[in-house]
Amino acid sequence: MKKRDAYLWLNSINGITNKTIEIIKNNIVNIEELICLSDKEIYSLENINSNIKENIVKYRSIAYLDDIKEKLNKENISYVCIEEKGYPNNLKYIYDAPNILFYKGDISIVNKNLGIAVVGSRKATNYGINCATTISEKLSNLGINIISGLAIGIDSYAHIGCMKGNSKTIAVLGSSVHNILPKKNIYLADKILENGGLIISDYNINSKVFPSNYANRNRIISGISEGVIVVEAAKKSGALITVEFGLEQGKNIFAVPGSINSYMSEGCHQIIKEGAKLINNIDDVLSEYKISNAKSIENSKKYDNINLSKESIVIIDTIKQQGVLHIDEICDNISEKFINIKRKFNNTNIKIEA
């Protein structure tokens, strides 16, 4: 038996979790030899529940394994184990790394390009939807894959935004790959695959879906990413679980600020206080990975070629340095000779993005 098949066989047995497989690996040198052990040797395995040992003995057959493989094949589901080359590089070294992953699509994209997770609330506001879509599309156009959980809300729009760009999106499920949840996102899952993306899970085809699955899968979302962006999250949002995993894994954490009056941004504001990097634009993300935004540089060059008056240059440079300013604040920062501008635009907000 190949090692990948040993993982598949064990993963398919009721009661055996990823941590159980780790315990079994500590008991025997070669896990692929487990199926050949005698009943006595299996029952002598340490730190394993007796019911699990009984199930190992009960389903210790190649026929059982072949049946599982046939079911996967019918659903066009592939699998990869932790020792294989195609396994996500970043995922190998996290705590409780899945010993086996099930997927549809192109798994090679995980190891090809930089990946950033974009997560947030299921009850997304228009502001959050716009931010998730725009950020994901812009990062995608710069060759960055976007990773999320295929949930409704921010996750969905992160996937959609990425597909508007040039890169691929990866959906990590809390259910098996053939059981897309929520059902309303089956169409989105199909689009991800049509776009050359990836749908991945550590839950086998016969796995039941429990609420804890979704928190557990978040370790994979952050694990295969180089960083986590939280777009919109309440104080107790599930997206913050991904942040916790990301921090444990040493990943960069980013957050999009929102209105101080919006409870949907309270989680983002909290993690910013705790050290997450505030995102004002995608350059705040790119700078952490020493990636230059060629499009911004190109636009900057175009701006430099525009024939502007000295007065206009002073105003624009002030806004570039200070950010969004009210006309009164602009006037406070520039020469008295431009005071007529204040009179002309009195009580007007000027918003120019540098």
Give Dmax (Cα) for the chain: 94
Looking at residue 279, the DSSP 8-state letter turns out to be P
For residue 158, how far is the Cα from the chain centroid? 9
Matching residue, tokens 């993690």: 271
pLDDT along the chain (354 residues), means of 10: 93 93 90 91 93 95 94 96 94 95 97 95 95 97 97 97 97 97 97 98 93 95 97 92 97 96 94 96 93 55 54 65 58 58 52 42
| Nearest CA among 225, 227, 220, 160 for reference residue 195 | 160
Express the helix, strand and coil content of the chain in percent, nearest 5 each.
Answer: 50, 10, 40
CB 153 within 8 A of CB 161: no
Q: Say how far apart CA 243 and CA 273 lie, in whole Å.
A: 14
pTM metric for this prediction = 0.81
Peptide bond into 182 cis (omega under 30): yes
CB 135 within 8 A of CB 256: yes
Identify how many contiguous H helices and E strands the chain contains and give both numbers.
17, 11
What is the three-class DSSP state of 326?
Answer: strand
Quote the pLDDT of residue 301.
43
CB 106 within 8 A of CB 194: no
What is the three-class DSSP state of 75?
Answer: coil
Structure tokens at 268: 């983002």
The burial of 157, by beta-carbon neighbours within 10 Å (0-12 exposed, 13-18 middle, 19 or more buried), is given as buried
Matching residue, tokens 């699509």: 105
Looking at residue 185, the DSSP 8-state letter turns out to be G
Q: Say how far apart CA 110 and CA 107 lie, in whole Å.
A: 6
Q: Say how far apart CA 225 and CA 265 lie, in whole Å.
A: 23
Could you tell me which residues come within 8 angstroms of residue 300 by beta carbon, excluding any fewer than 6 positions away? none
Quote the pLDDT of residue 299.
43
What is the three-class DSSP state of 306?
Answer: coil
CB 156 within 8 A of CB 185: yes
Neighbours of 287 (CB within 10 A): 12
Peptide bond into 211 cis (omega under 30): no
Structure tokens at 115: 């990946």
CA torsion sign, 152 to 157 to 158 to 164?
Answer: positive
